[in-house]
Structure 1
Amino acid sequence: MRARVYVSLKKSVLDPQGKTIHHSLQNIGFRKITEVRQGKFFEIDFASELTREEVRAEVEKIAEDVLTNPVIEEFSYQIE
């Protein structure tokens, strides 16, 4: 089973890298973009004997304890 984890800054946190990307895109002609927020993406493969619920619990634990800084970041995930 595979999990896809998306980590991004909370909406209340300033995103200077996203602003830089947004500005650069506008400079090269993409003027209809109103905002860019950057983040991180992880693909995690799990052993086939795990149940979907076990994978869900593992993904949440990994995301909360390792992949994110809960003060400024949030995460979402999909399990395939």
Structure 2
Amino acid sequence: MRQFDVEVKVWLKPSVFDPQGHAVHGALVSLGFEGAGEVRIGKFIQMQLEAEDEEAASRQVEEMCQKVLANPVMETYAFAIRERGQ
């Protein structure tokens, strides 16, 4: 088995209202950051994974995202996989 480092980014789809992003935008503007545009808040997940090869690791991460790490109805995700030690 090989060891992989995985990074997953999850964010709300553009059509979904982001109340946390809206609140942060309001705070930025109230603090004088007038140039701050729309703010969207997401998640960044790092993990280590053991798999036979990169393809198997990718399949596992895809399944993790679909079942646990993201809500595919409301969120979009992307991930990167890198073999440890490389």
TM-score (norm 1): 0.90
| Aligned structure 1 segments of 4 or more residues deviating by more than 3 angstroms | none
Looking at CA atoms only, which structure, 1 or 2, has the larger radius of gyration? 2
Task: Name which of 36, 39, 51 aligns with 1:36.
Answer: 39
1:23-80: per-residue Cα shift (whole Å, max 9, x none)? 1011112211111000111111012x53111111111000011111111111111112
Give the number of aligned pairs. 79
Q: Which residues of 2 match residues 1-80 of structure 1 at below 5 A?
A: 1-47=4-50, 50-80=52-82
Question: Hey, what's the Cα distance between the residues in 2 that align with 1:40 and 1:77?
Answer: 12
> Which sections of structure 1, spanning at least 5 residues, go unmatched?
none
Quote the sequence identity (%): 38
Return closer, same or farther for 1:31/1:50 CA change in 2, 3 Å cut-off. farther
1:10-31: per-residue Cα shift (whole Å, max 9, x none)? 0000001100001101111221
> Which sections of structure 2, spanning at least 5 residues, go unmatched?
none
TM-score (norm 2): 0.85
